[in-house]
Structures are given as C-alpha cells and as structure tokens.
Amino acid sequence: AYATGKAETITQYPIDKLTHIIYSFLKIQNDTLTFHNEGQENTVRQLVALKKTYPQLKIMVSVGGWGGCSFCSNLFASAQHRQNFAKTTATLFKQYGIDGLDLDWEYPAIEGYPGHKYDSADKNNFTELIKALRQELGNDRLLTFAAGGFVKYLEQSVDWDAVMPLVDFVNLMTYDLVGGYATVTGHHTPLHDYQPGQESTSRCVNWLLDKKVPAGKLIIGAAMYARVWENVADINNGLYQAGKFKRGVAYSGFKKYFSDTPGFKYYWDSMARAPYYYNASLKLFATFDDRRSIQEKTGFIRNKGLGGIMFWELAQDLKEDGLIEEMSKRLR
C-alpha cells in the first residue's frame, strides 16, 4: 500500500492484509532525506510501531511522486549528492527503524510532470543512485522504485540489466495509462491491450519478462480511484471517444458518485478485462478498478508468478470489505 496522511487515518484500514506500507512522501532537503514537518515524523514513528502488532509488516518511505521530483535530474547528476543522499537515508532508517526506500522519480530521461527537467544522462544517473543506495543500506534494508507502466518509460528511463539485481522489487504504475491530459477516453488501468499504441498491465509485464527481469520482483499496480471524462459522445458507450478529463473519484466514493447519480451504466470490456461507466444523459465516462478487475489481475499475478500487487492509495479504499480485502483473499 502506498499511503499518505496521518497514522490515525492509515490504521483505520485492514493493516493485517498488507505486507508493506510505503509512506509517501518524505522530502529531500539539499541532498538529505528528511521529514516535511514534526507531524510527518510522528506519523512514521507510529507506523513503525505497528510492526509490534503486525510482524509481517514492512514500513517503507517514498520520495518523489508526480510533481515531486523537479530537482531530481540535477541533484542525482552529482556523485557527491548521490552519496550524501544514500548516507543520510541509511542514517535516518537506523534512527527510526524504517525498513526501506521506494524511489518515485517521474521520470528519468523522459518527460514527466510538465516543466520538470529531464536529460538522457538521467538513465545512467538513476543506476548510479541505486548503486550508492544499495551500498549504504546494505542488504538488511529494502530498496525499490516506482516505474512508469508504459513502454516509453520501459525503453528509455531505466537500465534494467544493471538495476534489477540491486533492488528488491519494482512497483509498476500500471494505472494512469490514460492520464489527465488525454483528450480521448480509454481504460486507465487495463489488464490487457488490444488496439495499436495501447498500454496495459500485461504489455508492461511481458516487456520486462522478455528482458529477463525476475517475475518475483514485479509488483503490478491497481488504482483505488476512477478517472472521469466529460463531454463524451454517446458512441461505443463513451469508450475511445473524445472528451475532457473532469475529476478523480476515490473507490470509497463510488457508490455516492456512480450509484446515486442518475444515468450511470456499468460496462465490462472483455478484451481489456476492465470495467467502465458511461452516463449518456450527462455525457460522462469513467475508468477504474473494481472487484472484478482485481480478480483478473490477481489471477494474472498467479499465472505469471509475479511478486504481488500494490496500489495508490490506501485512504481511497473502503475501510471494510474493500479492494484490499479482495486482493488479499485472491492472493492468499
């Protein structure tokens, strides 16, 4: 689980079903990993304390995120900064009992958040950063990264041969594959693709398996939220039609938004193995994960021998009988 917010919120969810909580996001000040404020420091202390009750649980922290890595290209171009970052990270983890780091640089060597610097040298600098972190963290701490779930990232951002032996696993962001800038609707977190240029979970995973990345180190991503488009014509139930991104809806709010608003009808794309809603009267289209798509994804994990499933993010699920419960039931 990627998780944000306070420990009081996080602990309201089924922690016993989780293997890792990746608390997001700490900050990098100059080249030192640190907390944003005292409240965040206290949250991490409380999360680490959960391990007494849930011995299976690992508490990790993440840096970066969408919009959170504006400085990464410049900072990690310096060997000195990489070394300092690695050393301060190791020191922080020992002090607070944190189990590992998840790097969420979006994205090395290719365009990510609009206006953020990227450079072809990022790819090698990312490798060198991983090397420095592994050396300082040793083998007792977890080192992972969040990867774009689309082919351009797979091809251009990471030296998979060099990086994967050094990390414990990779969190594949196989969601937002049709993002907020898209002017045509589609599935944002589909299991399969079937149109030219379409991205999907299976396309991402198969690309990596073809590169001989160990299946057990691949963690696929699920979305605890829908993406809604507006001004979508009533053609093909709104799927693959022109539209404008309107908003996200947390899974915990699906009933209120989709069931209580007149006109939404549920559809299942049997080729993508993905659900969607369309509202013909309001011309709204929505793409998301639900129990059915999670069942498909967990079956895929079993068939491919993958390492598991992660999601963004914990506080968007239902506190009881939500998608976490479905994942846990299917994978255990």
Active site amino acids: 106
Beta carbons within 10 angstroms of residue 16's beta carbon? 11
Whether residue 1 contacts residue 44, with contact meaning beta carbons closer than 8 Å, is answered with no
Q: Taking Cα atoms as reference points, which of 194, 189, 220 lies closest to residue 205?
A: 220
Give the Å distances, CA to CA, from 132 to 80, 83, 201, 229, 324.
10, 6, 30, 43, 34
* 171: its two tokens: 């969190």
Rounded to a whole number of angstroms, the distance between the first and last alpha carbons of the chain is 16
Whether residue 203 contacts residue 194, with contact meaning beta carbons closer than 8 Å, is answered with no
Residue listed under structure tokens 């090397």: 131
- 260 burial (CB, 10 Å; 0-12 / 13-18 / 19+) is exposed
> Which residues, 6+ apart, have CB-to-CB distance to 297 below 8 Å?
191, 201, 220, 222, 289, 309
DSSP 318: -
- 80 burial (CB, 10 Å; 0-12 / 13-18 / 19+) is exposed
Residue listed under structure tokens 């609009």: 114
Q: How would you label 20-45 residue by residue, b for 16+ Cβ within 10 Å and e otherwise? A: bbbbbbbebeebebebeeeebeebbe
CA dihedral sign, ordered 57, 159, 204, 173? positive
Residue 148: in which H helix or E strand, if any?
strand 142-148
Give the Å distances, CA to CA, from 265 to 114, 172, 188, 226, 315.
34, 30, 18, 14, 26
